[in-house]
Amino acid sequence: MQIRELSIPDAYVITPKQFGDDRGTFLEWYRFDTFGDAVGRPLDLRQGNTSVSKRGVVRGIHFADVPRGQAKYVTVAHGAVLDFVIDIRVGSPTFGQWDSVLLDQQDRRAVYLSEGLGHAFVALTDDATVTYLVSDVYNPSAEHAINPLDPEVGLVFPAEAGELLLSAKDTEAPGLSESVAAGLLPTWDATRDYYDSMSKVGS
């Protein structure tokens, strides 16, 4: 597999090597040693999630308090989504910026985003099935959202997504500036300290 850092620091796209024959296809979509060597720390896997979405569904922007935060390793088992990584770490050199990766059942790429980064995706097909490994169990008291339609963030949704469909939670979530003012966002320094502590655990 190939692992490349995105334009947002501490977020990566993983492209697996696929092996096909007349029976179908085989690939490794996650491998702890290759991942750890590329990222510099292990993925402390604590939960696995799957969501199935119809075309146009937007999930996110979601993030969790750091520490412990919730790193995510995201791929698509069926269909296609456009996956967004948003830098919401106050003090980061790329604060407020985002990058995106097409995840689909053809290339079978994955995205890894470190703790403290915001995550969202939009389904480009019906029955878009997203599977993701996370570094902590769901903790509603530590989970937060930013409105994915906030013009300050400026996510660009492709035309093939069609009409967008958001949950009430995401629709009612504050914008980026409101989240900063409320003190909800992680900081660049706190996340760097946490990444360093995880690197020492993995060494």
Is residue 62 part of the annotated active site? The answer reads yes
- Whole-number Å distance between alpha carbons of 195 and 6: 17
Is residue 144 part of the annotated active site? The answer reads no
Among the options 12, 73, 112, 132, which is catalytic?
132
Burial class (CB in 10 A: 0-12, 13-18, 19+), 151: exposed
Paired residues of 139 in beta bridges = none
Tally of CB atoms within 10 A around 51: 14
Among the options 62, 119, 194, 195, which is catalytic?
62
Residue 73 has phi, psi (to 5 degrees) of -120, 105
Smallest Cα–Cα separation from 8: which of 193, 191, 197, 194?
191
Tell me the catalytic residues: 62, 132
